[in-house]
Structure 1
Amino acid sequence: MNPISSETDDCFAVRQAARHISKLYERHLCKVGITPTQFSILSMLNRHPKSTMIQLADALVTDRTTLVRILKPLLRDGLVVAPAEERVKRRFRLTLTEKGHERFEQATVHWRAAQANFEVVFGQQQAVHLRNELFRVTRDVPKG
């Protein structure tokens, strides 16, 4: 049996690239005290208020337990709430608070800087192509 090389390991390449890009965004977003994943949640809730945890977990391609761990600081810091009146059949609907909207606006400035930095280094058209291909993988490649 031939040994597996990192040069031919798709999973390794994707994980390595994802971590590398995440570090770039972390360096920018840490200035407002949030992670790239938390920024994604704030962004989703900004676009889709009252999203359920199931909807967020599906969009982030993560399990509910991981989502709860990521949400805890956002809930604790008062950026996101799950109002009692929005808890229907154990489906928590999450909403950005005013403080959450303010933090999202602050973070967006830093996110845009990270995005611009990546596109300058990697190339704008290459970044668009990469993003489209990654979304295609998420959409077209079965999870199992």
Structure 2
Amino acid sequence: MRTSSGPAFETTILVRDTCLCLHAQRAARALARRFDDALKPVGITNGQFSLLMSLNRPRPPNLGSVAALLVMDRTTLTANLKPLQRRRLVETMADPKDKRARLLRLTPAGRAVLAEATPIWRHHHMEIEKDLSNPDRLRLELNILSRSDSHNGAAR
């Protein structure tokens, strides 16, 4: 039944069954819950694990490059950094080449948490991949979507 104020119920079913955004959101939430539960003993969330891992580089990255890697705006990244900074897992420092810019660096405590979390991540990641018919293809297609999103201005 269709009302004059909205789409037909059939459209709702179509969106439920075919919407890539909806399916990606549902999968992302399910994966996030699995990794959040797995990483709880280390005291970090899956998002914090990804953020800490993005800082695990030979040279400290700047805020913009981390935001671009995580396809996250700077404001959201800054908010996500705050609890890690309070726990002294991450520190910021002035960029010696540009005093206005800030560099991000893992502290020894941050490296220790990451070292403890990595085997947990590896184990759960391998278990999840076993359920997928072609995890490499899925990664490729998700990366295509991520890149197209950043080209549309989402990762400013």
Offset of 1:143 from its aligned partner?
2.5
Contact conserved, 1:79 with 1:100, CA < 8 A, in 2?
yes
Number of residue equivalences: 142
Ranges in structure 2 where 5+ consecutive residues have no aligned partner:
1-6
Q: Is the counterpart of residue 143 in structure 1 residue 118 in structure 2?
A: no
Q: Is the counterpart of residue 57 in structure 1 residue 74 in structure 2?
A: no
Q: 1:74 aligns with which of 64, 84, 87?
A: 84
TM-score (norm 1): 0.87
Match of 1:39 in 2: 49
Give the 3 Å change call, closer, same or farther, for CA 24–16 of structure 1 in structure 2. same
Offset of 1:53 from its aligned partner?
1.0
Offset of 1:72 from its aligned partner?
0.7
Contact conserved, 2:61 with 2:105, CA < 8 A, in 1?
yes
Match of 2:106 in 1: 96
Paired amino acid for 2:138: L
Match of 1:20 in 2: 30
Q: Is the counterpart of residue 116 in structure 1 residue 126 in structure 2?
A: yes
Contact conserved, 2:95 with 2:101, CA < 8 A, in 1?
no
SS in 2 for 1:46: coil
Distance in 1 separating the partners of 2:139 and 2:78: 27
Give the 3 Å change call, closer, same or farther, for CA 86–22 of structure 1 in structure 2. farther
Cα deviation code 1:70-115 (max 9, x no counterpart): 1111111111111246593432100111111111100101111220
Contact conserved, 1:25 with 1:36, CA < 8 A, in 2?
yes
Distance in 1 separating the partners of 2:93 and 2:86: 14
% identity of equivalent residues: 35
Choose 1 or 2 for highest CA Rg. 2
Ranges in structure 1 where 5+ consecutive residues have no aligned partner:
none
Offset of 1:52 from its aligned partner?
0.9
Q: Is the counterpart of residue 29 in structure 1 residue 39 in structure 2?
A: yes
Distance in 1 separating the partners of 2:129 and 2:111: 26
TM-score (norm 2): 0.81
